[in-house]
Structure 1
Amino acid sequence: MSTNPIFVAAARDDSYAGVAALTFLTWDVLIHLADEVKYIWHGRNGWMKWIYLFIRHMPIFAQGSTGVHFNSTGCRDWIIYQAAVMEAITLAVEIVLIIRVYALYNRNKLVLTIILLLFVMEVTTMRCTDYIYGLLAMLSGLETILFVLTLIKFFQVAHRRIGEQTLLNTFVRDGTWAFAIIFLIMLLNTLMYQLSHTPLAGICYFWALSVMSFAGSHALLNLRRHCWESEPWFSTQTMMFTTDYELSEHSTQPTADKRTNSTTGEEMEVDAVPQLPI
């Protein structure tokens, strides 16, 4: 290990940042552990539960080696490991965000096909170009599209004066802050790797893992919390988006795609969110 004071100081700061990121993520896991048990582990045993487990807890294990020193061969292997973990977490979070948009558009096959094609193109770009630039391109491109699609759906029903606690508002709220913090941390991580040639280059890596874990896990957890607490008619056994969910202000009870107004006798169309396990 180099004894250059600048190198040593950079390595120390990098370790401090790693410990801070791990502390933040561990603290967030602990304060939401009761909600996780109630809304995730007591729900249906679907694949979303396991992708939540991966997104939520894998970064903690990945950060457990903070401060460990390697020789030149071990350092190269460690960098490969870091890149693989980051890519796996990123892809898992992207899958969650894609499914959210798929649900918003009532399981529209055309929307899903377009998103999946873009997803494959972005992954190919990440593999065929410089890894760091490819990862940033993936996030800035695909996540921007998903964010825009979410906003489009929101404005399509905005005239109905949706209340603050509706499922769609939960989608838009979580999609907005998740997009913002993920893009920001990945941009900072990319800039550090490109501009710094000291151990300080990796100062944002563990924070990127923590932020991805935080955003992806809360995007799932908040939906389940909303379904359990705001909509008691949701089955606690299935925990699914239902085609009976009404996004308008007329009712918070399950309805069909069309409903008769009890006052006017007119038939009203309601927007719906499809059945999809969360």
Structure 2
Amino acid sequence: MRAPRRLMSTSDVNFVELTRIAHIMGYNSTAAVTWLLYDFARSLDDEITLIWRSADTLPKFLYFISRYLGLFVQLCSTFRILPLCCQKISLMLRVYAVYGKTRAVIVILCVSAFGEVLAFAIFNWLGYVSFFDDVKPYPADWPIKGCYYPRRPTIFNLCSMPILIFETVLFVLISVKCFAHRPLREIPILQRIWRDGTIYYLIITAAIAVVMVSSAVQNTIVAGMSIVWISAILSFSGSHLLLSIRALAEARNGAQMATPMLSEDIPNIVVESPSALASPIDGHNPFPFPIDA
């Protein structure tokens, strides 16, 4: 039978230090929201053109969740995991499409995603079990609410590792597809996917590394700040990944629409024999190569 937990008094912990940490977390949450609002205002024109006016697809739906829920979770951290899931699904769909929607790739992606979620849940469960008896509520007369645990379980340092491993799997799959087949390297949209995916991977790796290192050295302030900011970073990076691809596709479609169809009303002339003279119209073909319908 467990002994009843004793209410914490001001003599148990440093009240000034806890209050300072709470204020720092509040300032960083405000800064993260401000950053996302600034980015939203700056890219609103592109978002309206490339996202809002596009067809209703799953990537479009995932974009809206990643973009706007990323703002909301800074005010309510309960749903922080949902934008992260949407970004992961969006990246998985991109890898799946690049590999031609093959069954082997979707199996690899699903197994990797399930392994990440399972490992993350196990690490968190073991951590919460190990420090559950040490959790103490703040006194009712304190200006900060919630609970305090004096020691952070070591296993919590590994909670971010499954996320990093899964992101590495996605990055490796994209890189292999880009560099293993030389013709694909000449496709601008594939190059854009790899370039933006690399930037996204480096940003996520740096953010997760800060979380893991600060947790390992027991730096409470840096660990708290990194946890606050990582949600905003994920929302920013995930939304700009899709915007970048949509912008490239829109520019390519616009270039094709702007090409004058000089032979639109001219009937086709069939050359029946190799010795027949070519029609003068052949020299006015706007494209130097045949175009598939």
Tell me what 1:107 maps to.
Answer: 101
Say if 2:138 is the partner of 1:144.
no
Say if 2:248 is the partner of 1:226.
yes
Q: Give the whole-Å Cα distance in 1 for the aligned partners of 2:224 and 2:51.
A: 33
**1:164-175, aligned counterparts within 5 Å?**
166-175=188-197
Is this contact kept in 2: 1:25–1:60, CA < 8 A? yes
Q: State the 1:140 CA deviation.
A: 1.4
Q: Give the whole-Å Cα distance in 2 for the aligned partners of 1:142 and 1:29.
A: 28
Say if 2:70 is the partner of 1:64.
no
Larger radius of gyration: 2
Tell me what 2:278 maps to.
Answer: none
**TM-score, normalised via structure 1 length:** 0.70
**What one-letter code is carried by the residue in structure 1 that aligns with 2:42?**
I
**Secondary structure, in 3 states, of the residue corresponding to 1:45?**
coil
Q: State the 1:251 CA deviation.
A: 9.1
The change in CA–CA distance for 1:115 and 1:8 in structure 2 (over 3 A counts) is same
Report sequence identity in percent: 26
Q: Give the whole-Å Cα distance in 2 for the aligned partners of 1:43 and 1:37.
A: 9
Q: Give the whole-Å Cα distance in 1 for the aligned partners of 2:35 and 2:228.
A: 11
Say if 2:23 is the partner of 1:5.
no
Q: State the 1:97 CA deviation.
A: 1.0
Q: Give the whole-Å Cα distance in 2 for the aligned partners of 1:201 and 1:140.
A: 17
Is this contact kept in 1: 2:96–2:102, CA < 8 A? yes
Say if 2:88 is the partner of 1:94.
yes
Q: Give the whole-Å Cα distance in 1 for the aligned partners of 2:68 and 2:16.
A: 35
Q: State the 1:214 CA deviation.
A: 0.9
Q: Give the whole-Å Cα distance in 2 for the aligned partners of 1:118 and 1:43.
A: 31
Is this contact kept in 2: 1:233–1:254, CA < 8 A? no
Which runs of 5 or more residues in structure 2 are unaligned?
1-8, 126-155, 258-286
Is this contact kept in 1: 2:28–2:228, CA < 8 A? yes
**TM-score, normalised via structure 2 length:** 0.67
**Secondary structure, in 3 states, of the residue corresponding to 1:130?**
helix
Tell me what 1:183 maps to.
Answer: 205
Provide the aligned length of Structure 1 versus Structure 2.
223
**What one-letter code is carried by the residue in structure 2 that aligns with 1:130?**
N
The change in CA–CA distance for 1:254 and 1:137 in structure 2 (over 3 A counts) is farther
Tell me what 1:128 maps to.
Answer: 122
Q: Give the whole-Å Cα distance in 1 for the aligned partners of 2:197 and 2:19.
A: 39
Tell me what 1:238 maps to.
Answer: none
Q: Give the whole-Å Cα distance in 1 for the aligned partners of 2:40 and 2:118.
A: 33
The one of 222, 226, 239 aligned to 1:217? 239
The one of 19, 25, 28 aligned to 2:39? 28
Q: State the 1:194 CA deviation.
A: 4.9
Is this contact kept in 1: 2:164–2:208, CA < 8 A? no
Q: Give the whole-Å Cα distance in 2 for the aligned partners of 1:251 and 1:51.
A: 40
Q: State the 1:117 CA deviation.
A: 0.9
